[in-house]
């Protein structure tokens, strides 16, 4: 069976209020890493699952009203943390967008030789949102390459597979080692990637939860965050599905973008 090599990385961070991340927790700010993954495929080259923040986030949010987004999130990003400084762009062949929020697509422009992948629903959302108010849905269109919409490939165009718990997925290279599954709720079109790595399976779940304790202890976000979420009902269903997956496959790590547990796996940018 084909296996990939996985390196968990991070580019920049922001802060969220503790009691938003977990109902009943103190208000103390919680550090949110912007985690992404470097995936080495034996024949398809390097694949990135998300790309974290870049300086472009700060640039795109300088003016009102986008500035509100920056003020709410308090983003920090060092130049040396940016994805293209951690991975040689010449080697990156594929960019998978879990969803199109700014902290996931910040580096897309730095990998001009790579093919972008997203779900049909993400592309539809990109089309639906007018430039002037997309920021309120976490989307900053200036972060995307000019030809992104025309050249981006869809998960749905690849080989369909079925998983007994995760439902219908898309096997990116038809070799079983990178399979995308819908994780609706947090953002339109969000997909996780179930990887077969040299160290066993790993499920990258983006923002399906912010803290693994949502799955293991039922400590879910404060309902106040529903204003940032696409669909709270779908979010709860996705969480229930991941709980079942975790109970059935307790050895498969669930790696979420901002989860403190996942942050322990980060290979530092200067390592």
Query: Among residue numbers 134 through 193, which ones bind Zn ion (CB under 5 A)?
Result: 187
Instruction: Show Cβ contacts of residue 241 under 8 Å, excluding neighbours closer than 6 positions.
Output: 165, 166, 167
Buried b (16+ CB within 10 A) or exposed e, 186-219: bbbbbbbbbbbbeeeebbbbbbbbbbbbbbeeeb
**x/- contact string, 216-255, with Zn ion (CB under 5 A)?**
----------------------------------------
CB of 178 to Zn ion, least distance (A): 20
Q: Which is nearer to Zn ion, 8 or 208 (CB)?
A: 208
Of the two residues 152 and 183, which places its CB atom closer to Zn ion in the complex?
A: 183
Q: Among residues 9, 101, 246, 258, which is the contact residue for Zn ion, using CB under 5 A? A: 101
- 56 touches Zn ion by CB under 5 A: no
Order across the sheet with 167-171: list the strands: 159-163, 167-171, 178-182, 191-197, 200-206, 254-256
d(CA 63, CA 61): 6
Q: Checking phi first, is residue 185 left (phi over 0); if not, alpha (psi -120 to 50) or beta?
A: left
End-to-end CA distance of the chain: 30
Minimum distance from residue 141 beta carbon to Zn ion (Å): 16
Q: Contacting Zn ion (CB under 5 A), which of 207, 208, 254, 258?
A: 207
Least distance from Zn ion to the Cβ atom of residue 42, Å: 30
Q: Which stretch binds Zn ion (CB under 5 A): 5-13, 148-156, 207-215, 245-253?
A: 207-215
* Minimum CB distance to Zn ion, residue 89 (Å): 24
Among the listed ranges 46-54, 97-105, 143-151, 216-224, the one in contact with Zn ion (CB under 5 A) is 97-105
Given the complex with Zn ion, which of 41 and 138 has the nearer CB atom? 138
CB of 169 to Zn ion, least distance (A): 20
Sign of CA dihedral 234, 238, 239, 240: positive
Where does this chain touch Zn ion (CB under 5 A) — which range of 20-28, 34-42, 80-88, 93-101? 93-101
170 versus 210: smaller Cβ distance to Zn ion? 210
* Coil/strand/helix, residue 29: strand
Looking at the Cβ atoms of 155 and 210, the one nearer to Zn ion is 210
Q: Is 173 or 229 the residue whose CB approaches Zn ion more closely? A: 229
Q: Give which of 60, 71, 145, 149 is closest to 109, Cα–Cα.
A: 145
Q: How many CB atoms lie within 10 A of CB 31?
A: 12
Burial class of 112 by CB neighbour count within 10 A (0 to 12, 13 to 18, 19+): exposed
CA 113 to chain centre: 21
Total of residues contacting Zn ion (CB under 5 A): 3
- Per CB under 5 A, residues contacting Zn ion are 101, 187, 207
């Amino acid at each position: 069976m084909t296996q990939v090599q996985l390196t968990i990385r991070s580019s920049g961070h922001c802060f969220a209020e503790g009691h938003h991340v977990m109902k009943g927790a103190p208000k103390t700010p919680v550090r949110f890493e912007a985690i992404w993954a470097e995936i080495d495929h034996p024949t398809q080259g390097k694949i990135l699952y998300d790309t974290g923040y870049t300086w472009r986030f700060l640039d795109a949010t300088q003016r009102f009203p986008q500035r509100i987004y920056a003020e709410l999130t308090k983003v920090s990003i060092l130049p040396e943390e940016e994805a293209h400084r951690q991975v040689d762009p010449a080697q990156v062949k594929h960019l998978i967008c879990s969803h199109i929020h700014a902290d996931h697509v910040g580096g897309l422009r730095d990998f001009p030789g790579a093919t972008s992948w997203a779900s049909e629903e993400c592309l539809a959302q990109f089309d639906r949102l007018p430039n002037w108010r997309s920021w309120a849905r976490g989307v900053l269109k200036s972060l995307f390459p000019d030809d992104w919409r025309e050249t981006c490939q869809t998960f749905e165009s690849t080989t369909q597979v079925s998983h007994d718990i995760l439902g219908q997925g898309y096997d990116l290279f038809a070799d079983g080692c990178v399979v995308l599954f819908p994780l609706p709720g947090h953002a339109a079109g969000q997909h996780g990637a179930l990887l077969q790595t040299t160290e066993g399976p790993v499920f990258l779940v983006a923002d399906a939860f912010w803290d693994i304790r949502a799955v293991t202890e039922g400590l879910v976000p404060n309902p106040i965050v529903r204003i940032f979420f696409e669909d709270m009902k779908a979010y709860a269903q996705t969480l229930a599905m991941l709980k079942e997956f975790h109970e059935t496959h307790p050895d498969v790590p669930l790696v979420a973008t901002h989860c403190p547990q996942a942050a322990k796996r980060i290979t530092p940018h200067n390592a």
